[in-house]
Structures are given as structure tokens and as C-alpha cells.
Amino acid sequence: MEDVKLTKLASCAGCGAKVGAGMLSRLLKGLPVRKDERLLVGYDKSDDAAVYQIDENTAMICTLDFFPPIADDPELFGQIAAANALSDVYAMGGEPKVALNIMTVTKEMSRETIHGILRGGYEKVFEAGAVIAGGHTIEDTEPKYGLSVTGFCHPSRILTNSAAKPGDILILTKPLGIGILTTAAKADLIGQDVKDRIFAQMTTLNKRARDIMTLYPVHSCTDVTGFSLLGHSYEMAGGSGAAIHILTDQIRYHEEALEMASMGMVPAGAYRNRDYVEGHLTKKKEIPLALEDILFDPQTSGGLLIAVPEKEGEALYRQLSDDMPGVSLAGYVSEGEGLILE
């Protein structure tokens, strides 16, 4: 059987397929929440993963993430999906240890394609120092792949998205624009050099960023994925009871994304993110619509957004910048509430 392109088998790609944050909040509203003193972080916290304390020295971090193809190459798709799923554990400050495959396959997919996707996932999990111990596969009308991941951390070192403090600075470890550029890629509007660059970014684990940030007194962290920089920043602001200021002139993004956004190559997820956040957004200056689209753009396997005291944050920013490309001094935290664009 001759395979068709993976991205042609799906109506949307990567984290752009996520249910919008506003819709998700409405869907979950009113569901019973069982109380357990060992459940340190549950789904009611809008955080990156659940955290359950095993004993005084060990907390278990549990997450899962899967999505439709964002690349036609099966192995590359598997790598990106795995890196994205592992990222939730890194955002909580943890170390991934065990993963399970989550997969749907279609009748158009050959054995070689399915093997390629799984092989890509195995490669990234191995790179993370974890193991894949099994999984579950079903037939569907669209292919999807991802992981359920379990990691561990000391309970006192767990990082959440709701502990940013006034006086913190915000550091973003990867440039934005992935959703816009992958949308443009499906329309064959970007060159192979740009595709190679964004695929390399999406397959890069957040492990090194986690290793560096845990050397500093970080207050809060989240990974920037489907809800966009502004969506995840809004959740951090609300959970922390503080105001998040985004420095739009400082945000790093792929230059080609600005052009593609100006041409209308904006994924549907960006509009869902805008609907969720825009009513809580204050703009201190005029911002070009294409740049706003980048700030609302759903990211796949995006970077970590780190809130850290300014004094130590400057050193953390320098060390991250020396170690990896595209790091932004994204903003700062103050007293107040909501999200402010400057």
C-alpha cells in the first residue's frame, strides 16, 4: 500500500487540535472533585500535569498528550508528539520515567508508517532517560499519536503555573510562530529550510531548560503549547493572583510567521485562544494584528515560560541564552490582575 501524506489525513495539526481553553472550562465545570490530601495538583488547577504525593520524598507527576500529525514524515511526527507530551513533566520540574503510547491508526496507513511513528516516540523517550512500557491503539478516521507520561520530583520542588510573584521576570525558552508556520507548510507556502528549523525546534526536549532552571529559585513554570503564550500567561496570572505583563518588543518569534500571519495563515486554535483571553487583555500600545496572531498562536512542543525573581532571573536568562537559541525576556509580574501587553 502506498501511504498518503500524514497531514492530509487530518483536518488539523498538532496542538492546534486542542479544545479551546474556554470551552474546556465549560465542559469541566460542575464535575465532582474527589478530595485526597495526597493529590497536590489536580485537573481543577488548570496546570500542566497532575501531581500525587507518594511519600515525604517523592511526588508522582502524571500527564498525557496526543494529537493529529504535524509532519508527513512518520518518525518526525512521533518525535514531535513525544517531545510535546514529555514537556508537561519538565514544566512541573520533574524527571520523566515511564511512558505509554496512545495511538489511532487509519486504513490508509501502512505497517511501515505506524512503525515509523512509534520509533520516533521511542527515540525521544529514550533521549529523556525514560522507557515506553506499553500503550493502546485503536482504529479511527484520523491518525493520532502521543504519550501518557509518569515522572517524579521531590514534593517541595514541584513547580506549578500558579505561583508567580510580583517582582518576578518571565523567561520564554523557545520562539513563537509554530502553529502559523505549520499551517503555512500544509499550503506549501514556506521553504524546506523553514520547515527544517521549526521541526528541529519541536523535536527539542525541554529537558535542558528544566535542568538549568532548577538551579535557580524559580517560583512558577508552565509550558507554552496549544493555549498560546497569552492563554498560558492568562492562566498563570489568574492562578497566581497577579498581573502578567508581556513585553511585545522582546518576544522572540520566527520572522516568517509574521509574513504568514499577515497573509491569513492563522490556525483555528489561535481564534479560540483570542476568544478566551481577549476580554481580559489590556493593551498599553498599538500592536500589529499579525503580531497579536503570533501571541495567540497555538504552539506544539513549545518552550517553558518561567517566573523567577528578577535578581536571579537575569543570571538564569543569560545561562539559558548561552545554551539554546531563541530565548526571550518575555515580561514581568506585578501586583494586580489580568494580562497586560506592553
| Within a domain: 163 | no
Q: Find the catalytic residue in 15, 62, 153, 221.
A: 15
Angle between helices 228-240 and 268-277 (to 10 degrees): 30
Q: Do 96 and 207 share a structural domain? A: no
**Closest C-alpha to 150, from 92, 71, 108, 191:** 92
In a domain, 226, yes or no: yes
Residue 151, classed as helix, strand or coil, is strand
Asked if residue 153 belongs to a domain, the reply is: yes
Can you give the CATH number for the domain in which 282 is found?
Answer: 3.90.650.10
pLDDT of residue 1: 38
| Residue 178: per-residue pLDDT | 97
pLDDT at residue 48, as a whole number: 78
- Catalytic, 221? Answer no
β-bridge mates for residue 309, sequence order: 168
pLDDT in tens, 181-196: 999 998 899 999 999 9
pTM, rounded to two decimals: 0.91
**CATH code of the domain covering residue 139:** 3.30.1330.10
Over the stretch 12-34, which tens digit does the pLDDT of each residue have?
655 556 555 555 566 566 667 77
Domain boundary among 125, 157, 189: 157
Question: Is 261 part of any domain?
Answer: yes
Which residue type sits at 224? V
Is residue 1 a part of any domain in this protein?
no
Report the distance separating Cα 177 and Cα 170, nearest Å: 18
Same domain? 115 vs 23:
yes
Q: Give domain status of residue 172, yes or no.
A: yes
Cα 272 to the center of its chain, rounded Å:
16
Same-domain pairing of 137 and 88: yes
For residues 94 and 219, state if they share a domain: no
pLDDT of res. 235:
94
How crowded is residue 262: how many other Cβ atoms within 10 Å of its Cβ? 14
Q: What dihedral angle (degrees, nearest 10) is formed by the CA atoms of 4, 8, 14, 17?
A: -140
Has residue 210 been placed in a domain? yes
Extract the residue ranges of the chain whose pLDDT is less than 50.
1-2
How far is Cα 58 from Cα 52, in angstroms, rounded to an integer?
Answer: 9
Which letter does DSSP use for residue 253 in this model? B
Q: What is the pLDDT of residue 272?
A: 93
Question: Rounded distance, CA 304 to CA 319, Å?
Answer: 15
Number of domains in the chain: 2
Residue 245 lies inside a defined structural domain of this protein? yes
Structural domain harbouring 282? 168-341
Same structural domain, 143 and 196: no
Q: Are residues 144 and 173 in the same domain?
A: no
